Amino acid sequence: MSRILIIIAVLPALILLGFIYMRDRKEKPPVKLMVLLLALGAGTIIPAVIAEFIGQLIVTQTDTDHQTMLLVLCFLVIGIVEELGKYLVTVCTTWKSREFQHSYDGVIYMVCASLGFAILENILYVASGGIGTGILRAFTAIPLHCTVGVIMGALYAKGREAAYAGDRAGMVGFMAWAYIVPVFIHGLYDYLVMAASYGYISEAWVFLILGVMYVLSIFLIFYCSAHDRRIDGRPETADYGMYRMDFRRPGRGYYYPDQPDYRAGYPGYPGGDAYGQAGGYMQNTNYNPYNGGYTQGMNQYPGNGYVQEMNQYPGNGYAQGMNQYPQTGVNPYRQQENPGSQNYSQSYTSNGTGTDYGMTGYNGQGRK
């Protein structure tokens, strides 16, 4: 198989997947998980071929007319088998995944599985039918698989949301519809194509369903993208708060155009370590409702309160040096609690008036 045929077989599906992926405006899924679903979806073609072969043998053994056989084959064999494989691999892979948090994630994941199946199927058809088959299927079969993937994904996300909310009945209902509706659309498309090829119906029906598929898929893609939301019950910004850059899960991109950018720090405190002003914890630690409170500078304390420098204390309170304590302001009630021990000053005072702050009578042996 030439490179041109491979490109013709693969490129349409990748273009559709890329378009759907770029419509995710909030939190793009990890590429590794998307590639895994593409591979798993492609792998479902093997059991699908086997099951369809067995089903076709069973159907052809029945004593029915050919048109009825086509109905049974398309709806009860092809549609059920092919959509079941995509459905199961996606649900089993993503149902409990921490990467399934938004409603649009369900659309992307189901489309990945559907287009993975479509790519491998298309390669087989193009290898035997040539360029013409590839071009024809680029506008028919590939959009079909994409459409059923979008529908299945939208309903799958609703079912997962109901499960998060504890609504068991809603979960079962949405998950059932997520499988039944794609099976019906897939079966209807195959039946119209086969019936038209045998002359049972007009080819206009095929173009009609193709037009409906195009409109429906485009509408759902834009609608699901515009109404993308978290389905796990957590706040919209739950994964990109204080530790957004350090602890976000690998492979995810965060896009919240309507939210402030918190990449530099905790929400509400932009600027990394800046809380309220640029430059650090309050540019100046100025908690100064009273002159005797904290200071104008980071490590400085005024003479009428704390000291001017790190390790110095004014004469009316603590001593001028690190380990010296003056005799001024000795507590008249506790001059010496332990005779012979070093007598310390009354305490630190804010204005030298002798207000006691709990340092009185502190003896040299560490007892108060």
Nearest to 345 by CA among 310, 355, 337, 335: 335
Whether the pLDDT of residue 74 is over 50: the answer is yes
The stretch 255-264 carries a mean pLDDT of 43
Query: What is the rounded distance in angstroms from the CA atom of residue 20 to the CA atom of residue 354?
Result: 76
**How confident is the model over 21-25, as a mean pLDDT?**
93
3-state DSSP assignment of residue 365: coil
In eight-state DSSP terms, residue 73 is I
Nearby residues of 155 by Cβ (< 8 Å), 6 or more positions away: 174, 175, 177, 178, 181
Helices 45-60/103-129 angle, 10° precision: 70
Spatial distance between the Cα atoms of 21 and 16, rounded to a whole number of angstroms: 9
Radius of gyration of the chain (CA): 37
DSSP at 299 = S
Tell me how far apart the alpha carbons of residues 171 and 192 are, in angstroms, rounded to a whole number.
Answer: 32
Write down the pLDDT at residue 238. Answer: 64
Segments making up each domain of the chain, as ranges? 3-239
Higher local confidence (pLDDT), 34 or 266: 34
What mean pLDDT value characterizes the chain? 76
The pLDDT > 90 percentage for the chain reads 59
φ, ψ of residue 195 in degrees (nearest 5)? -65, -40
C-beta of residue 25 within 8 angstroms of C-beta of residue 255: yes
Provide the residue type at 113 as one letter: A
pLDDT for res 26: 85
* 8 Å CB contact between 41 and 13: no
Q: Which amino acid is at 190?
A: D
User: Global pTM?
Assistant: 0.66
Separation of CA 299 from chain center: 43
Q: What share of the chain is helix, strand, coil (3-state, %, to 5)?
A: 55, 0, 45
7 C-beta neighbours (distance < 10 Å), count:
13
pLDDT at 237: 67
On the question of pLDDT at 132 being above 60, the answer is yes
- Which H or E run contains 254? strand 253-254
The predicted structure's pLDDT at residue 265: 42
> Is 70 exceeded by the pLDDT of residue 13?
yes
Q: Could you identify the residue written with the tokens 């507590």?
A: 331
Per-residue pLDDT tens digits for 161-189: 999 999 999 999 999 999 999 999 999 99
What tokens were used for 108?
């992307």
**H/E segment holding residue 174:** helix 168-197
Question: In this structure, are residues 110 and 221 in contact, taking their beta carbons and an 8 Å threshold?
Answer: no
Q: What pLDDT, on the 0 to 100 scale, is given for residue 62?
A: 84
pLDDT at 300: 46
CA–CA separation, 144 and 190 (whole Å): 10
Across the range 211-227, mean pLDDT stands at: 95
Tens digits of residue pLDDT in 340-361:
444 444 444 444 444 444 444 4
> Is residue 266 pLDDT above 80, yes or no?
no
- Cα–Cα distance measured from residue 49 to residue 252, given in angstroms and rounded to the nearest whole number: 35
- What is the arithmetic mean of pLDDT over 284-294? 45
- For residue 239, what pLDDT is reported? 58
List beta partners, residue 254. Answer: 27
Q: What whole-number distance in Å separates Cα of residue 3 and Cα of residue 257? A: 41
pLDDT at 232: 87
Angstrom CA distances, 46 to 51, 81, 134, 276, stand at: 9, 11, 21, 61
